[in-house]
Amino acid sequence: MTTPSTDTRARLLDAAERAFSDKGFDGAALREITTEAKANLAAVHYHFGSKEELFLAVVARRIEPLNRERLALLDAAEAKAGARAPALEDVIEALVAPMLRLARDEARGGAAFVRLFGRLQNEPEAIWRRILGGPLAEVRARFSAALARALPELDRGELAWRMHFAIGALCNVIVDRQRLELLSDGQQSSEDVEGAIAHLVPFLAAAFRARTRPSPAQTRSARR
Amino acid sequence: MTTPSTDTRARLLDAAERAFSDKGFDGAALREITTEAKANLAAVHYHFGSKEELFLAVVARRIEPLNRERLALLDAAEAKAGARAPALEDVIEALVAPMLRLARDEARGGAAFVRLFGRLQNEPEAIWRRILGGPLAEVRARFSAALARALPELDRGELAWRMHFAIGALCNVIVDRQRLELLSDGQQSSEDVEGAIAHLVPFLAAAFRARTRPSPAQTRSARR
DNA sequence: GTCTATACCACGATAGAC
DNA sequence: GTCTATCGTGGTATAGAC
């Protein structure tokens, strides 16, 4: 923040973003990152303290503008609805589209960052928890409230489950761009960002509006 | 297959399943696995060739019975429907429920294996690809066809996208059982397997039935 | 065939000189 | 701020014991 005298720090962030994106947290080697950044191995520990902190710094740098964009879209959706509840499709798109579009914005991390973020899911749990509780906390709270307003008849517990499912669907698109090609025998490609948005938003909107469990299994829920 | 004479191999698989489940592929150390299995470090490379092959062997051992169960449920759903297309909810439940219920079946891997499988998503891409093309190939083809029959009006490309999203939702439930508690402020728990099924199946069914790209201005009249 | 001992090189981290 | 040296631990490879 205060000492941009040397840009070693920035070069490390850029190199780390690429490396983590390509190989994941464990797969990327600090020696490779520092070599590409033309910095010494120990520079990482001087500037960031550890590999995990470096990773979090990479995420934090990109996620703050992204979150501002999401919240701005949510504000717009709520303004458009006036006193009424915002449209469900608009809320979902505000959450989902900025992340997917980021994949095409090389100046702000591009595909590398987006894939890196998707990977967060399965990286050491401590990392994900720190991000959900830190830079993502406000987004989580605002969108949780907006979805509850858009779906007033929905039980809050049910809503939490559905948000959980929706995050999974979003992350899956983000992580591996070749898996869809396997599933469609090469017909579809996740490279098509606007296509992904056009498919994902109606999918999730319909899912959020699903009627709650009409049928069985409820009978033997002897739990608690 | 042919030499169950020594059970070193089986002990290694059991220890590896626990370790990979707890710490992920990179996080688990072979030295820890071999110590717990009371085997020598080099035994892993004798029996499996590498850490990655050991991981794949752990997955293969559990996934084959699981797949048989899924296909049996799918057969039942198709038999129930007779000449008509199977019910969408039944197809989805046949795909999803055996995996989630496995978390309660300690004799067949239990929660450890299920979490390990969920982690596959973000493990090195080569691993996931080998599993989708190997032990999961038949399940993928059969369910893909069943979904296409249950949703005859749906474009095949659209169906591939939706399967991609659905897999993400499923895997997300499986991997991290604490994330839902964070999202619901401790109200909901993914430990409740039947609850997860009861929430996930209608969610996905509604999503698969979504109309393709409703215009953004479509408020809430889109309910079926 | 089955398993062991051991050596190798790459990794993240740290201390201390400059 | 930067660099070198070094430590402990990781996956891997192989020679050889039973």
Sorted by where each begins, the domain ranges of chain A are 62-209
Find the largest Cα–Cα distance for chain A: 67
User: What pLDDT is attached to residue A183?
Assistant: 81
Contact A24, A123 (CB under 8 A): yes
Answer whether A152 touches B (CB < 8 Å).
no
The closest CB to that of B164, out of A144, A183, A210, belongs to A183
CA-CA-CA-CA dihedral for B95, B97, B99, B103, to nearest 10: 180
User: What pLDDT is attached to residue A189?
Assistant: 87
Q: What is the pLDDT of residues B173-205, one digit of tens each?
A: 888 777 788 888 888 888 889 999 999 999 999
| Residue B51 half-sphere exposure toward CB, CA atoms < 13 A | 16
What integer is the mean pLDDT of B46-69? 95
Q: Rounded to an integer, what distance in angstroms lies between the CA atom of residue B129 and that of residue B123?
A: 10
Residues of A in contact with B209 (CB under 8 A): 206
pLDDT at A176 over 70: yes
> Quick one: what percent of chain B has pLDDT higher than 70?
90
User: What pLDDT is attached to residue A214?
Assistant: 56
C-alpha distances (whole Å) from B107 to each of A88, B110, B112 are: 43, 7, 11
Looking at the C1' of nucleotide C15, which residue has the nearest alpha carbon? A42
The amino acid at residue A86 is: P
Tell me which H or E stretch contains B37: none
Inspect the interface and report whether the beta carbons of B166 and A169 lie closer than 8 Å: yes
CA-CA-CA-CA dihedral for B211, B214, B219, B221, to nearest 10: -40
Does residue B6 approach strand C to less than 7 Å at its CB? Answer: yes
Residues of A in contact with B194 (CB under 8 A): 217, 220-221, 223
C-alpha distances (whole Å) from B66 to each of A144, B69, B109 are: 35, 5, 11
Distance of C1' in C15 from CA in B47, Å: 42
User: What pLDDT is attached to residue A1?
Assistant: 46
Q: What is the pLDDT of residues B105-119, one digit of tens each?
A: 999 988 889 988 887
Q: What is the pLDDT of residues A99-108, one digit of tens each?
A: 999 998 999 9
In terms of Cα–Cα distance, which of A20, A15, A9, A21 is closest to A48?
A9
Q: Rounded to an integer, what distance in angstroms lies between the CA atom of residue A32 and that of residue A13?
A: 13
User: What pLDDT is attached to residue B218?
Assistant: 40
pLDDT at A58 over 70: yes
Inspect the interface and report whether the beta carbons of B122 and A24 lie closer than 8 Å: yes
User: What pLDDT is attached to residue B222?
Assistant: 42
User: What pLDDT is attached to residue B185?
Assistant: 83
Q: What is the mean pLDDT of chain B?
A: 88
pLDDT at A159 over 90: yes
User: What pLDDT is attached to residue A217?
Assistant: 47
E-strand ranges in A48-190 read: none
The amino acid at residue B207 is: A
In terms of Cα–Cα distance, which of A136, A194, A186 is closest to B156?
A186
Confidence of residue B219 (pLDDT cuts 50, 70, 90): very low
Distance of C1' in C18 from CA in A39, Å: 17
What integer is the mean pLDDT of B28-47? 97
Angle at B223 between CA B219 and CA B224, to 5 degrees: 140
Q: Is B7 exposed, middle or buried (0-12, 13-18, 19+ CB in 10 A)?
A: exposed
The closest CB to that of B168, out of A93, A169, A187, belongs to A169
Confidence of residue A6 (pLDDT cuts 50, 70, 90): low
Contact A104, A110 (CB under 8 A): yes
Closest chain B residue by Cα to residue A92: B216
What integer is the mean pLDDT of A107-126? 81
Interface test with B, best of A52, A55, A164, A179 (most B CBs within 10 A): A164
The dihedral sign for the CA sequence A173, A178, A183, A187: positive
Contact B179, B167 (CB under 8 A): no
User: What pLDDT is attached to residue A125?
Assistant: 67
Chain pair A-B, CB pairs under 8 angstroms: 204
Confidence of residue B13 (pLDDT cuts 50, 70, 90): very high
pLDDT at B213 over 80: no
Six-digit token string for A89: 């499709």
B-contacting residues in A 80-99 (Cβ below 8 Å): 87-90, 93
Domain spanning A62-209 has what CATH number? Answer: 1.10.357.10
In terms of Cα–Cα distance, which of B203, B193, B163, B89 is closest to A180?
B163
Does residue A42 approach strand C to less than 7 Å at its CB? Answer: yes
Closest chain B residue by Cα to residue A133: B182
C-alpha distances (whole Å) from B196 to each of A42, B41, B169, B191 are: 46, 39, 11, 8
Question: How far from the centroid of its chain's Cα atoms is residue B123's Cα?
Answer: 14
pLDDT at A216 over 80: no
What integer is the mean pLDDT of A64-83? 97
Identify nearest nucleotide to residue A48 by CA to C1′ distance: C13
Residues contacting residue B6 through CB under 8 Å, at least 6 positions apart: none
Q: Rounded to an integer, what distance in angstroms lies between the CA atom of residue A50 and that of residue A30?
A: 10
Domain spanning B61-208 has what CATH number? Answer: 1.10.357.10
Confidence of residue A133 (pLDDT cuts 50, 70, 90): confident
pLDDT at A109 over 80: yes
> Quick one: what percent of chain A has pLDDT higher than 70?
90
Does residue B46 approach strand C to less than 7 Å at its CB? Answer: yes
The closest CB to that of B203, out of A165, A171, A182, belongs to A165
End-to-end CA distance of chain B: 51
